[in-house]
Amino acid sequence: MSPQDPSRLVFGAAQVITEEELAERAARSRPLRVKLGLDPTAPHVTLGWAVPLRKLRQFQDAGHQAVLIVGDFTARVGDPSGKSETRPRLNAEVVRANAERVLGQFGRILSQERLEVRYNSEWLESMSMEDVLRMTASYTVARMLERDDFAKRFAEQRPISLMEFMYPLLQAMDSVAVEADVELGGHDQLFNLLVGRDLQREHGQEPQIVLTMPLLIGLDGTRAMGQSLGNYVSVDEPAEEMFGKLMSVPDHLITQYLTLCTDLGPDEVGAVESGLADGSLHPAEAKRRMAREIVRLFHGGEAAERAEGDFDVKFREREVPPDVPEQPIPKEALRDGLVVLAKLLPAVGLAESGSEGRRLIEGGGVRLNGEQLMDPGAELPVEDLVGAVLSVGRRRFVRLSAPGE
């Protein structure tokens, strides 16, 4: 791919503002400075986070300069994008610990060549009150209330803090500080990225091109992938676990995962989509290919083959049917953030009562991903159960997804 050919770079994008600007700027003699900001608010890099990171890698492969902004300052403010209520602040120690952990995981996706890593505390912490007032004077409350999440909360009389109004401006100052040509982000970040264009104009810079990516839907099939929801796959988990979780992705998301999480191009993804639509391709085979491609990206081809073989041993050889019904983990099975196994069985219809569930476990008739469970008092983390197959005997199976709201 040449630096002058931006067509592959927009594949999978939700919105580009504008493609004409991107084509014109990519045709110049110098590499573009392509910015992606990530706030280290959680300790794992999920496949959802990896979507814009992989797009940044595509820009690197096209010869452009990646500018990764670690939002160690903005993480303490909290991005309100898509939130229905004020987000709790994180302290600096938590942010630093998360940043150290996720930076190592970024290396699984980004090339170390043409990579510039910056912490936005570098310029945001040193801003004076005069600097802050000058920045806020460039945007009105009315403009801020154009954001869908702010407008909804305002209409419902839900609190909106002035600090949350600051977040888009602080993110925009990142673009000014690094003189971004392009900014990447999730589609829920569109407003923030457009503020960056405005503030760059205010500072006499050429406004950045905005490229947003769709939000990857998580393993529950309904909500955006998130660590707090337990419906995620992280890029650093073992290949076998990654493959197994990906095989639990609902059929209607296969094409989205192929588009956003693999290196397959538009023609290959289109062929899979057509095959699924006309029935010439079974969803189980398309999902298997999707899982292989994603595991290969993060663990290599040999590990992907081993993971697929491990999946077959655990599921095919134990005669797990391909059309296992899927159910979210019921709230009544949860206690202090853990899933109570004896309560889970009746809650998903695998036992008549909690006491029968305990008897089934004690009798060795309950398996999780083919492994026998023997402790009737077991309490398991939600993330260990999302995507797993729970079975009683040889005929009753349930595939578990993240708890519903």
Domain ranges of the chain: 8-213, 227-316, 326-401
Choose between 239 and 353: higher pLDDT.
Answer: 239
CA distance 314 to 320: 9
pLDDT band at 148 (very low <50, low <70, confident <90, very high): confident
Peptide bond into 255 cis (omega under 30): no
Give the model's pLDDT for residue 4. Answer: 44
Closest listed residue to residue 218, CA positions, set 336, 15, 49: 49
Q: What is the length of the chain? A: 405
* Maximum CA extent, the chain: 73
Give the model's pLDDT for residue 32. Answer: 96
The 8 Å CB, 24+ separation contacts for 86-90 are 86/159, 86/160, 86/161, 86/164, 87/164, 90/41
Mean pLDDT (the chain) is 87
Give the model's pLDDT for residue 83. Answer: 52
Range 326-401 has CATH code 3.10.290.10: yes
Give the model's pLDDT for residue 315. Answer: 67
Is residue 245's pLDDT more than 60? yes
Classified as helix, coil or strand, 210 is strand
Is residue 5's pLDDT more than 60? no
Give the model's pLDDT for residue 177. Answer: 96
pLDDT band at 78 (very low <50, low <70, confident <90, very high): low
Is residue 381's pLDDT more than 90? no
Do the Cβ atoms of 171 and 195 come closer than 8 Å?
yes
Which class in CATH covers the domain with range 8-213? alpha beta
pLDDT band at 101 (very low <50, low <70, confident <90, very high): confident
pLDDT band at 89 (very low <50, low <70, confident <90, very high): low
Give the model's pLDDT for residue 1. Answer: 41
Q: Report which residue type is found at 328.
A: P
- Percent composition of the chain: helix, strand, coil (DSSP 3-state, to 5): 45, 15, 40
Q: Picking from 124-138, 143-157, 269-283, 335-349, which range would have the lowest pLDDT averaged per residue?
A: 143-157
Range 227-316 has CATH code 3.40.50.2000: no
CA distance 90 to 357: 40
Closest listed residue to residue 123, CA positions, set 78, 170, 181: 170
Do the Cβ atoms of 231 and 402 come closer than 8 Å?
yes
Give the model's pLDDT for residue 90. Answer: 65
Cα–Cα distance list, 400 to 221, 330, 368 (Å): 12, 10, 10
Give the model's pLDDT for residue 84. Answer: 46
pLDDT over 70 percentage in the chain? 92
Give the model's pLDDT for residue 37. Answer: 92
Is residue 313's pLDDT more than 80? no
What would the pLDDT profile of 227-243 be if each residue is shown by its tens digit? 777 788 999 889 998 99
Give the model's pLDDT for residue 320. Answer: 64
Place of tokens 């909804």: 152
What would the pLDDT profile of 51-75 be if each residue is shown by its tens digit? 999 999 999 999 999 999 988 888 8
Give the model's pLDDT for residue 184. Answer: 97
User: Per-residue pLDDT averaged across 180-202, rounded?
Assistant: 93
pLDDT over 90 percentage in the chain? 45
Highest-pLDDT range among 8-22, 82-96, 361-375: 8-22
User: Per-residue pLDDT averaged across 265-294, rounded?
Assistant: 93
pLDDT band at 382 (very low <50, low <70, confident <90, very high): confident
Choose between 46 and 396: higher pLDDT.
Answer: 46
CA distance 390 to 315: 11
Q: pTM for the full model? A: 0.74
